[in-house]
Amino acid sequence: MNKGYLTLVLHAHLPYVRHPEFEEFMEERWLFEAMTETYIPLLRSFESLENDGIPFRITMSITPPLMEMLEAKDLQEKYIRHLEKLIELSKKEVGRTRSEHPTKHKMARYYLKDFEETLVYFRDRVQSRLLEGFKHFQDNGFLEIITCNATHGFLPLMNRYPQAVKAQISQGVKTYEKYLGRKPSGIWLAECGYVKGVEKPLAEEGISFFFVDSHGLWYAENPPRYGVYRPVMTESGVFAFGRDPESSEQVWSGDIGYPGDFRYREFYRDVGFDREADYIAPYIDRSGARVNTGIKYHRVTGKNVELGKKDYYDVEEAHRVAYDHAQDFIGKKSAQVEALYDQFAGVQPIVVAPFDAELFGHWWFEGPKFIENLFRCMNETEILKPITPKAFIDDSLTSVQITTPADSTWGANGYNEVWINGSNDWIYPHLDEMAERMTRLANDFYDETDPVKIRALQQAMRELLLAQSSDWAFIMSTGTTVAYAVNRTKQHIVRFNELFEALYKGQIDEKCLEHYEWIDGIFSDPDYRLYAVR
């Protein structure tokens, strides 16, 4: 008997990093690594499930910046060159490891085969358009793709400017429609950042649901009867689903989470750092900075084992472990919904398990295989069934509690401190002033007909949206590639202000404008009038 549901939500996002002015750019590797290790492996797992007739249901946000990058021709071409270099390196590794260790040699051959198959899948199977691959599974009813606000802007810290919030949400919906040909049913609010009132522009855009972290429902104005295990409806008619804390702990806890198993691949040991400089130089950053190649020969081994003492990794053994862990997870979820079903007197709970998509494959190499096995195991039980949020609302929701969630995020400690602290608080006076100035531009040039001025207004909007990306504040807070995040933020601020001044002076430098459109060309048709107060 079906006693409850599981909703697996994967949040696929990367900041908009596209540098057409360079043949190679180190931070573009973020996208290439995610494509190789997460997005394509997920699509291949979905394909395996579809071919075997397994009725999987999964929800996935693909953010507007990621959609824009996946559809960029120059990035597609760069990615093919990236894969070709990995194949070249893998061939060298096959020869080199033959005399080093049999398990290393086995893995070198595995990587060569995997990179070659990845290239064939990307270039030939989906004609370099991964979005078409995901769209296939949405069209066939297995995948529910939802949107995100335009540039993953952190809405709780721009709530003083309703027009800025509206623009972030509206552009996110518009980009989704452009690439997927339909309206999104739901949205992933960047950083799971909810603040009271944000549901109103969601309702205006026809959004049916969003997600909050657990405490967003625990501390709601009227705490819901079923906690995080049934959605609530806001006063605007938009549903809020709460995250299940148990699922997060089981998968991603630093102490008990599955990825820490000693048989899984060690992320931090890579030939990009292990091999001598002259040998690896053609396959790392042109500056000589060491980077991950994705060729890794070692396993976790143990929590306290030094990197240099890690044992060799065997992918076949790891895949067997991934199946065992999928069985364990489904067993625990089945027991959880049985207990909740009894506690709720026969009302079916929904367990919402959201994760960053890049956890599966990039950070946890075996993650896509875990997801595939998860649905295979779920197919063998009647107690727990997979479902998407829209299907749950349409088919299984007979009554609902109306309440307002508490302000919340899924960041460290649950609120805003990751995105506003001593390392990054300097950006917000600039972002606030830019939002105010953008509103002034939209009001003053609302009926503008001059094509050059319209282009400048659209580019000013792009620069504001790009500056608002939560990724830059996050990077400053966590201390990774800080210089790049600071530089990107400052560049967008400067470019916006240049355009602002030029518009009011009536002295637009078209060559400069064209350059900004080229290097910051996210969104083909942004509507700057969204910022107007009417």
What is the tens place of the pLDDT at every residue in 120-135? 999 999 999 999 999 9
Q: What torsion do the CA atoms of 434, 439, 443, 444 make, to the nearest 10 degrees?
A: -10
Average pLDDT for 164-180? 98
Q: pLDDT tens for residues 464-514? A: 999 999 999 999 999 999 999 999 999 999 999 999 999 999 999 999 999
Q: pLDDT tens for residues 386-407? A: 999 999 999 877 789 999 999 9
Whole-angstrom Cα distance, residue 168 to residue 195? 14
pLDDT of 383 over the 80 cut = yes
Least confident of 238-252, 309-323, 453-467: 238-252
CATH 1.20.1430.10 location in the chain? 421-531
> Residue 255: pLDDT band by 50, 70, 90 thresholds?
confident
- Phi first, then psi: give them for residue 414, nearest 5 degrees: 90, 0
Total residue length of the chain: 534
Contacts for 269 with CB less than 8 Å, ≥ 6 apart:
296, 297, 298, 307, 310
Whole-angstrom Cα distance, residue 341 to residue 347? 6
Whole-angstrom Cα distance, residue 444 to residue 463? 19
- Contact assessment for residue 244 and residue 353, using Cβ atoms and an 8 Å cutoff: yes
- In the prediction, which pLDDT does 371 show? 98
Cα 527 versus chain centre, distance: 24
Architecture of domain 421-531: Up-down Bundle (1.20)
- In the prediction, which pLDDT does 253 show? 77
Average pLDDT for 288-303? 94
Cα 367 versus chain centre, distance: 15
- Phi first, then psi: give them for residue 101, nearest 5 degrees: -165, 140
- In the prediction, which pLDDT does 268 show? 96
The catalytic residue among 191, 266, 471, 498 is 191
Active site residue 191: yes
pLDDT of 21 over the 80 cut = yes
The catalytic residue among 356, 432, 436, 448 is 356
Average pLDDT for 138-153? 98
Which pair of tokens denotes residue 424? Answer: 């990054």
Strand ranges (E), 29-139: 58-62
pLDDT of 252 over the 90 cut = no
Helices (H), 197-314: 199-204, 214-218, 245-252, 271-274, 277-280
Average pLDDT for 42-70? 98
Average pLDDT for 318-337? 97
Contacts for 413 with CB less than 8 Å, ≥ 6 apart:
none
CB neighbour class for 333 (10 Å; exposed up to 12, middle 13-18, buried from 19):
buried
Q: Got the DSSP string for 63-79?
A: -HHHHHHHT-HHHHHHH
- In the prediction, which pLDDT does 303 show? 87
Contacts for 310 with CB less than 8 Å, ≥ 6 apart:
266, 269, 298, 299, 300, 301
Entry pTM: 0.97
- On average, the pLDDT of the chain sits at 96
Q: What angle do CA 326, 329, 335 make, to 5 degrees?
A: 140
Q: pLDDT tens for residues 402-426? A: 999 999 999 999 999 999 999 999 9
Average pLDDT for 168-196? 98
- Contact assessment for residue 255 and residue 225, using Cβ atoms and an 8 Å cutoff: no
Average pLDDT for 268-278? 95
Strand ranges (E), 25-173: 58-62, 143-148
> What's the Rg (C-alpha) of the chain?
24
pLDDT of 275 over the 80 cut = yes
Give the whole-number percent of the chain exceeding pLDDT 90: 96
**How do 232-233 and 401-402 pair as beta strands?**
parallel
- Contact assessment for residue 201 and residue 165, using Cβ atoms and an 8 Å cutoff: yes
Q: Under CATH, domain 4-22+38-59+130-247+324-412 is a member of which superfamily?
A: Glycoside hydrolase 38, N terminal domain (3.20.110.10)
> Residue 161: pLDDT band by 50, 70, 90 thresholds?
very high
CATH 3.20.110.10 location in the chain? 4-22+38-59+130-247+324-412
Whole-angstrom Cα distance, residue 283 to residue 110? 19
Q: pLDDT tens for residues 81-107? A: 999 999 999 999 999 999 999 999 999
36 to 9, 181, 527: CA distances (angstroms): 20, 26, 34
- In the prediction, which pLDDT does 27 show? 95
- Contact assessment for residue 423 and residue 476, using Cβ atoms and an 8 Å cutoff: yes
